[in-house]
Amino acid sequence: MTRTRLASSLWKWLIAALALSSALLLVFELSAGIPALLIDGRQGSLGARLNDQLGESEEAQSSHYLTILELAPDSPLRAAGAQPGDKLKFDRPLDRWRKFLVGEPVGLTLYRGDSERHLRLAAQAARPTFAEQFDYWGRFLVGATSILFSLLIGFKRAEVRCYRYLAAVFAALSLMYFFTFNYSPPSFFYRFSKAANLTTYPLVWYWCVCFALLYQPYAQQGLRRWLTRSRPVYGTLAVGTAAYSCWFALGHEAPLLWLMIFLSISGGLGLTITSLYHGWQATHGEIRQRHVWLMASFLTGAVPGMLAFIPALDASYNGMRITAFAAVSGQLLMYMGLAYAVLRVRVFSFDFAVHRMLVYTVLSILLLALVGCMEWLAKTLLKGGGPQHSMALFTATVLVGYLLLHQLHRHIERWMRRIFFSKWHAKENQLRHYVEEAEHITAMDALLASCRAAVDNFTGQAGCAIYLRQAGGEYTLATSTLAGVPLAVAESDAMLPALRAEMDALLFKQVGTAMRGEIALPMGHRGALNGFIVVGAKADGLAYRPDECEVLHYTAHQIGLDLHALRVAALESELRQMESKAAEQGETLAALAERGRQARSLL
């Protein structure tokens, strides 16, 4: 990763100032939005639907002359003689993105053919719709999350240049709060907020390209050289689009701005994904897996947002803009994915995340189906029931749902593995089948050798070493396919107290141990650590998934119990032999004593 010349302390002050500025703008807007949405429940409106939404037409994204698409029966515009198909232009161009105060005077010019009229209308009271509520609070959540992540990445990765670009991306995306409509009065703060949002949006993707190109010290050859040389060209497009957007925000006409914005987004996304894909091909291990997370995150956040800039694709349902819903959801998922890939010390495979998503999706569908069935039963069987019946039904639904889903969780997880992740399922079943057979092995050496082979097969020959506790308290190596491990582990090793305390799979990065390997698996009985298994790192460098750690821990625990049983059996056999020898010696002593008595009687 390329380091930067700007001092880390100065960068932290800069990113903190940007985040604070965004936070102040969000608070200023929120102070106007809360009364309209939560306290009064009213907002000012002209009772007209205009093509001012992104995606309605090319005109809406390049011009302040807006077409009236629909008028409410009590619309002030209809009362003033306006008709659908007429055009209008606000005296304050940014009013197109504002929700007015009730009774606020709004100045505009109405155009019909070659004639024009200047009007000054009073905004009428209207109740915010669910779609507007969702859009507003969704954008607030996106903005607040962006500020948080910009500070986290900016402070924790301040010394690395690519992460500075990513922190700048999050800082700029916090201005998405001003993307559609707002409640702020027509003050300097609102004009600055909207202009900053329109100006920085094209730059976001340029910074994403910079992050992707500088993420790792890639070899500058072939496609990577072409990508690096294309950055200044794309940067010129992004900066030009940002300047043109600022010109538009100042109230001027900007023909073809929508096309420049679309090219900036699609070009930035294409370069970012291409760079990350090339990096995925050139790397291995955990870095390779981080590339997968980054690609998936950028695609999740960008594709729904791009649809809003394509005319005629900005569909809606019952007043809810589908692309707005998808864009907000995609942005949040993108933020979580990027933060996970960048800030997490260890990342799990993307396949594991997909598996978990499928499992919880099925569980959510079952829960919704259960609630629907219970509601149907309530209407059918409890007709005329009062609040007590409703409360009892709600309590019963929650209890039954919890019990059923708790029982079904593991079964659904296994079905998902069997259907979509057959390799996982086959390996896990093979290891669990071995554990069931291992309890019938009667020789300790054979049990240790078979356990070593089973673990190696499960981990793809990552190597493992099995240590057993001796009478003196030290742990000595019993069998191993892992190179470089010591023959004995002293009690002073930091790994041993951690294993005794947790009695669970232990990642070596969590403790300061000199032991080679990836994870340690305790073999205990009644709180005593009788041994442990050390498993090496995977050949592909990826981290062990939680389900893999779980089945490995289960295996180590069961094999530990089998070893304990063999030790007990050996001690019992030894005790029986000693008892037999003692009985024989007692008989011999009794015979000698009898002979002695006989000899004394002869004398």
CATH 3.50.50.60 fits 443-571, yes or no: no
CB 513 within 8 A of CB 495: yes
CB 602 within 8 A of CB 478: no
Measuring CA to CA, which residue among 291, 294, 292, 241 is closest to residue 266?
241
Angle 56-61-64 from CA coordinates, rounded to 5°: 105
Do β-strands 320-321 and 316-317 pair in parallel, antiparallel, or remain unpaired? antiparallel
pLDDT given at position 362:
66
Grouping H, G, I as helix, E, B as strand and the rest as coil, residue 51 is coil
pLDDT given at position 352:
59
Measuring CA to CA, which residue among 46, 149, 148 is closest to residue 90?
46
pLDDT given at position 238:
95
Q: Report CA torsion sign: 253, 258, 263, 265.
A: positive
Element spanning 476, H or E: strand 475-480
CB 308 within 8 A of CB 55: yes
CATH 1.20.1070 fits 8-32+129-347, yes or no: yes
Looking at the DSSP bridge assignments, the partners of residue 522 are 532
281 phi, psi to nearest 5 deg: -70, -30
In the structure encoding, which two tokens stand for residue 514, read together? 């000199």
In the structure encoding, which two tokens stand for residue 405, read together? 């889903």
Q: Which amino acid is at 198?
A: L
CB 68 within 8 A of CB 84: yes
pLDDT given at position 315:
58
CA dist., res. 550 & res. 457, Å (int): 16
CB 202 within 8 A of CB 241: yes
pLDDT given at position 442:
87
Looking at the DSSP bridge assignments, the partners of residue 281 are none
Torsion of CA 455, 459, 461, 465, to 10 degrees: -50
Q: Which amino acid is at 537?
A: A
Element spanning 153, H or E: helix 130-156
pTM for the full model? Answer: 0.69
Q: Which letter, b or e, does each residue of 132-153 get, where b requires 16 or more Cβ atoms within 10 Å of its Cβ? A: bebbbebbbebbbbbbbbbbeb
pLDDT given at position 177:
83
Tell the CATH topology of 48-126. Answer: Pdz3 Domain (2.30.42)
In the structure encoding, which two tokens stand for residue 217, read together? 């010290």
Measuring CA to CA, which residue among 120, 125, 119 is closest to residue 100?
125
pLDDT given at position 414:
67
Extents of the domains making up the chain: 8-32+129-347, 48-126, 354-420, 443-571
CB 531 within 8 A of CB 560: yes
Measuring CA to CA, which residue among 224, 29, 36 is closest to residue 140?
29
CA dist., res. 264 & res. 585, Å (int): 96
| Residue numbers of the chain with a pLDDT score lower than 50 | 3, 54-56, 58
CA dist., res. 368 & res. 401, Å (int): 10
Q: Report CA torsion sign: 279, 285, 289, 290.
A: negative
